[in-house]
């Protein structure tokens, strides 16, 4: 009874919507739901729209962007989009896991996608992705070791927790592969929200001779970038393209390519091979991570180093290189990855 | 000023008495609709189509209607909180901060305490009320004892509340995971929701009941009358034997407490945990709601419904047309601008009158009762 009322209400809304809009019936229709920060965040939301635009250009997918104002509005936004004739509804926030699961259960025929979340499958009609941040960190580690003038590079993490260690291990592995003699400093500011602490820790590393510091610390990262600007050294951004934050002093950013991930979801619908219930891993080989290049870091990285990126990608693709994932390491382990290399002291000496 | 039109007068109803308070807000809304329509036209869309989408997207069908109720829930609390204080001449623009502290208190009471449902929910609500009350007490006390302007203090208390709650939810009591939030509240503290489509919850009913309660207090009790006189002419109220400083503190505490309850509605009903920076500005929207309502609690319900419908319809509008959420926000801001202009105009006029008359007026405003 209630359900039929709900259904009728939706049908009315649907009829109104379709009657007045210009959708052709056979076009692929996508709804993208932003996180509460919305468009213009220069981060995941903006990047995902790029993926939408590409899908529009490549196979004429129509997309709309729904911007909830708060986390509490996620579920109603997803629920009202479900059953409106969208071929897929794609979300972009960790906080959407629960709401999307709820709605996906109630709409088993609607397809959903969620980018950059955890390894747990979210339901038979939901595809989700995990970004191999350790491969992205490997890449920027390589670039840093090839670019440093002092032979010393640094890492400023947020809290001293496993998920952040994973970035460090990738970074360390990449740096040591590029140049076994490079020194890699590992430090944790203990906070994800304190730019001042980020700056302190970074200045300390710079004092020890590090001239490139990788910031994996949420908004603490702003302080790392600030320190680079002040001392005219380099910082490396994380997650989204942060090059603009200090043009000339951000060497590059380890970007999670949520645009590629969203694009592939739409493409799978177009190709008829939607992978509902699966968790897809996006690393260097899948273009799921990248070193951000734009007008703000133009010329900071040597041409031949940039050329290495394709070589590394190829080697990862063939399995010649396997970047170690911190979660696979045992405390005290002495070697890691393929080709095997010595683990950093924080792992080798751990009990 | 027009505040006299706002209060429902106890016994006698007349058609004029019902229509008159609606006139000004309706004119403001009408102007906003026209200006917004021109804006839509300049974007190359058909305004009638857009407005119909907004209306159908917020009212037609249960899912849409329930979302509208969800969107209006926090505004019932913050709108009422602001209306109560403004009506008494206290410019409490700190509802945002009071709501955040109330939400924080409710969030902590929700996960840290183990109680059966029939006690846990009231306990959390009481904690939220207390949180909002304490946050409002600071500007109130400064106002009454040190004569510090409450507008400035309230305004400063808002970011302090945000940063303080941010510190608690990212450092002291953070739940594991990438989101800055407190641990989930216990099942026993959850205000139940009714539908998959909407987070509207039992808090909505509490908000509605509070609005009705304060409509009754304003219209039927001595307290309500004293608060009104305080707002219209504090000096007159003082000479009339009303304990203005005491009442001012009480009104601010009630106002803050209600804003705090709005935070509880969010935490216990919608989020099920305290999230850092959860509010997109419900406290500030509450000021607009209160102004549109002319500080009348029943008007708050109507104004909150209008704003809720605009926000609820917004998602459908974005879904169907690809227009951005900002269109709806622009519509809301136009309403606020028009109301503010009218408000300032009235204030300027009353000042001019006061100066020319050179004394406190005892004019029509106090005629009844």
Structural domain boundaries enclosing A342: 134-255+290-348
Contact A71 B271 (CB under 8 A): yes
CB count within 10 Å of CB B366 equals 16
Q: What is the pLDDT of residues A146-160, one digit of tens each?
A: 999 999 999 999 888
Place of tokens 């979302």: B67
Task: List Cβ neighbours of A181 (8 Å cut-off, separation of 6 or more).
Answer: A151
The mean pLDDT of chain A is 88
Q: Which of A282, A298, A324 is the last residue of a domain?
A: A282
Contact B311 A69 (CB under 8 A): yes
Distance CA B18, CA B15 (A): 5
Residues in B touching A31 (Cβ below 8 Å): 319
Q: What is the pLDDT of residue B17?
A: 67
| A5 assigned to some structural domain | no
**Predicted ipTM?**
0.82
The rounded percent of chain A whose pLDDT value lies above 70 is 93
Full DSSP string of A273-306: ---TT-EEEE-TTTTSEEE--SGGGTTTS-HHHH
Contact A38 B325 (CB under 8 A): yes
Residue B37, class by beta-carbon neighbours within 10 Å (0-12 exposed, 13-18 middle, 19+ buried)? middle
In A, minimum Cα distance to B194 occurs at A2
Contact status of A13 with chain B (Cβ, < 8 Å): yes
Mutation choice for A interface testing from B57, B317, B318, B324 by most A CBs within 10 A: B318
Contact A36 B280 (CB under 8 A): yes
Q: Could you tell me the two tokens for A225?
A: 């970038």
Counting one residue from chain A and one from chain B, the pairs whose CB atoms sit within 8 A come to 120
pLDDT band, residue A22 (cuts 50/70/90): very low
Mutation choice for B interface testing from A80, A98, A103, A114 by most B CBs within 10 A: A80
Contact B278 A5 (CB under 8 A): no
Tell me whether the omega of the peptide bond preceding residue A339 falls within 30 degrees of 0, making it cis.
yes
Q: What is the pLDDT of residues A193-237, one digit of tens each?
A: 788 999 999 999 999 999 999 999 888 899 999 999 999 999 999
| A9 assigned to some structural domain | no
Give me the CATH number covering residue A213. 3.40.50.2300
| A10 assigned to some structural domain | no
In B, minimum Cα distance to A3 occurs at B62
Q: Where are the alpha helices (DSSP H) in chain A?
A: 2-20, 44-59, 74-81, 97-106, 133-147, 162-178, 195-207, 221-231, 258-271, 303-318, 345-348
Minimum mean pLDDT among A269-273, A327-331, B58-62, B330-334: which range?
B330-334
Q: What is the pLDDT of residue B176?
A: 83
Distance CA A334, CA B160 (A): 48
Contact A9 B196 (CB under 8 A): no
| A3 assigned to some structural domain | no
Q: What is the pLDDT of residue B13?
A: 55
Q: What is the pLDDT of residue B364?
A: 45
For residues A182 and A119, state if they share a domain: no
Question: Is the Cβ–Cβ distance between A320 and A306 less than 8 Å?
Answer: no
Contact A80 B315 (CB under 8 A): yes
Average pLDDT over residues A342-349: 90
For residues A176 and A304, state if they share a domain: yes
For residues A266 and A315, state if they share a domain: no
Contact A72 B271 (CB under 8 A): yes
Residue B322 has its nearest CB partner, among A64, A73, A84, at A64
Distance from CA of B70 to the nearest CA of A (A): 9
The helix/strand/coil state of A32 is strand
Q: Which residues of chain B have a pLDDT value below 70? A: 1-18, 354-369
Place of tokens 């004892």: B145
- Across the strands, what pairs with A126? A112
Q: What is the pLDDT of residue A19?
A: 38
For residues A98 and A146, state if they share a domain: no
Contact B278 A16 (CB under 8 A): no
Contact A21 B197 (CB under 8 A): no
Contact B197 A80 (CB under 8 A): yes
Residues in B touching A13 (Cβ below 8 Å): 56-57, 60-61, 63-64, 316
For residues A49 and A68, state if they share a domain: yes
Q: What is the pLDDT of residue A178?
A: 94
Q: What is the pLDDT of residues B188-216, one digit of tens each?
A: 999 999 989 999 999 999 999 999 999 99
Distance CA A340, CA A337 (A): 5
Residues in A touching B198 (Cβ below 8 Å): 75-76, 79
Residues in A touching B65 (Cβ below 8 Å): 9
Residue A11 pLDDT > 70: no
For residues A139 and A119, state if they share a domain: no
| A14 assigned to some structural domain | no
Distance CA A236, CA B126 (A): 48
Q: What is the pLDDT of residue B15?
A: 63
Angle at A90 between CA A84 and CA A96, to 5 degrees: 105
- Across the strands, what pairs with B345? none
Q: How many independent structural domains does chain A possess?
A: 2
For residues A150 and A235, state if they share a domain: yes
- Across the strands, what pairs with A342? A335
For residues A200 and A246, state if they share a domain: yes
Q: What is the pLDDT of residue B8?
A: 45
Task: List Cβ neighbours of B85 (8 Å cut-off, separation of 6 or more).
Answer: B91, B92, B251, B252, B255
pLDDT band, residue A8 (cuts 50/70/90): very low
For residues A46 and A59, state if they share a domain: yes
Q: Could you tell me the two tokens for B195?
A: 């539908």
Distance from CA of A65 to the nearest CA of B (A): 6
DSSP 8-state secondary structure symbol assigned to residue B183: P
Distance CA B74, CA B68 (A): 11
For residues A80 and A223, state if they share a domain: no
Contact status of A31 with chain B (Cβ, < 8 Å): yes
| A16 assigned to some structural domain | no
For residues A217 and A310, state if they share a domain: yes
| A1 assigned to some structural domain | no
For residues A148 and A294, state if they share a domain: yes
Residue A18 pLDDT > 60: no
SS3 content of chain B, % helix, strand, coil (to 5): 75, 0, 20
Residues 217-236 of B with CB under 8 A from A: none
Distance CA A76, CA A69 (A): 12
Domain boundaries, chain B: 74-307
Residue A17 has its nearest CB partner, among B170, B275, B320, at B320
Residue A304 vs residues A249, A298, A311, A314, B114: alpha-carbon distances, Å: 20, 14, 11, 16, 62
Region of residue A277 (left: phi > 0; alpha: psi -120 to 50; beta: else): left
């Amino acid at each position: 009874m209630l359900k039929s009322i709900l259904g009728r209400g939706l049908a009315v809304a649907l009829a109104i919507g379709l009657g007045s809009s210009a959708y052709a019936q056979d076009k692929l229709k996508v709804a993208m739901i932003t996180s509460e920060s919305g468009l213009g965040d220069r981060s995941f939301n903006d990047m995902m729209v790029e993926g939408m635009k590409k899908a529009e250009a490549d196979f004429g997918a129509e997309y709309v962007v729904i911007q909830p104002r708060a986390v509490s509005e996620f579920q109603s936004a997803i629920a009202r989009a479900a059953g409106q004739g969208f071929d897929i509804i794609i979300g972009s926030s960790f906080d959407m896991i629960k709401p999307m699961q709820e709605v996906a259960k109630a709409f088993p025929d609607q397809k959903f996608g969620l980018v950059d979340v955890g390894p747990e499958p979210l339901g038979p009609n939901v595809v989700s992705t995990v970004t191999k941040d350790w491969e992205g960190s490997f890449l920027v580690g390589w670039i840093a070791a090839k670019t440093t003038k002092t032979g010393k590079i640094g890492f400023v993490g947020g809290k001293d927790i496993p998920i952040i260690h994973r970035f460090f291990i990738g970074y360390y592995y990449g740096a040591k592969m590029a140049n076994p003699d490079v020194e890699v400093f590992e430090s944790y500011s203990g906070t994800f929200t304190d730019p001042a602490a980020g700056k302190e820790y970074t200045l300390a590393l710079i004092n020890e001779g590090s001239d490139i510091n990788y910031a994996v610390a949420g908004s603490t990262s702003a302080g790392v970038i600030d320190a680079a600007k002040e001392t005219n050294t380099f910082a490396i951004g994380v997650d989204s393209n942060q090059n603009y934050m200090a043009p000339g002093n951000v060497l590059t950013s380890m970007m999670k390519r949520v645009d590629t991930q969203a694009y592939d979801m739409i493409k799978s619908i177009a190709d008829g091979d939607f992978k509902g219930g699966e968790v897809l891993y996006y690393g260097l080989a899948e273009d799921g991570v990248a070193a951000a290049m734009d007008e703000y870091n133009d010329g900071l990285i040597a041409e031949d180093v940039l050329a290495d990126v394709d070589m590394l990608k190829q080697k990862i693709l063939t399995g010649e290189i396997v970047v170690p994932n911190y979660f696979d390491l045992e405390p005290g382990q002495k070697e890691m990855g393929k080709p095997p290399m010595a683990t950093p002291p924080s792992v080798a000496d751990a009990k | 000023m027009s505040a006299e039109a706002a209060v429902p007068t106890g016994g006698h109803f007349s058609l004029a008495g019902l229509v008159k308070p609606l006139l000004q807000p309706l004119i403001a809304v009408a102007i906003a609709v026209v200006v917004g329509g021109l804006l839509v036209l300049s974007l190359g869309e058909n305004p009638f189509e857009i407005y119909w989408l907004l209306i159908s997207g917020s009212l037609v069908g249960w899912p849409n209607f329930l979302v509208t109720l969800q969107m209006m829930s926090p505004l019932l609390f913050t709108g009422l909180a602001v209306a109560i204080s403004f009506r008494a001449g206290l410019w409490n623009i700190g509802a945002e901060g009071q709501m955040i502290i109330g939400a924080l208190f409710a969030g902590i009471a929700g996960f840290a305490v183990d109680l059966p449902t029939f006690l846990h929910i009231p306990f959390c609500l009481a904690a939220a009320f207390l949180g909002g009350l304490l946050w409002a007490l600071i500007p109130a006390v400064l106002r009454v004892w040190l004569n510090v302007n409450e507008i400035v203090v309230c305004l400063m208390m808002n970011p302090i509340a945000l940063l303080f709650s941010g510190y608690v939810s990212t450092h002291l009591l953070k739940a594991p995971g990438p989101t800055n939030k407190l641990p989930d509240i216990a099942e026993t503290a959850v205000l139940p929701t009714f539908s998959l489509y909407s987070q509207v919850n039992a808090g909505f009913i509490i908000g509605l009941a509070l609005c009705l309660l304060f409509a009754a207090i304003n219209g039927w009790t001595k307290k309500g009358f004293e608060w009104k006189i305080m707002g219209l002419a504090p000096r007159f109220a003082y000479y009339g034997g009303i304990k203005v400083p005491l009442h001012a503190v009480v009104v601010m505490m009630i106002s803050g407490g209600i804003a705090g309850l709005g935070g509880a509605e969010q935490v216990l009903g919608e989020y099920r945990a305290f999230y850092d920076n959860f509010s997109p500005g419900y406290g500030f929207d509450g000021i607009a709601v209160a102004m549109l309502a002319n500080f009348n609690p029943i008007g708050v319900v109507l104004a909150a419904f209008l704003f809720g419908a605009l926000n609820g319809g917004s998602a459908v509008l974005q879904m169907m047309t690809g227009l951005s959420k900002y269109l709806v926000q622009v519509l809301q801001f136009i309403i606020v601008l028009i109301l503010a202009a009218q408000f300032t105009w009235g204030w300027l006029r009353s000042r001019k009158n006061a100066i020319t008359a050179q004394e406190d007026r005892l004019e029509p405003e106090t005629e009844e009762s």
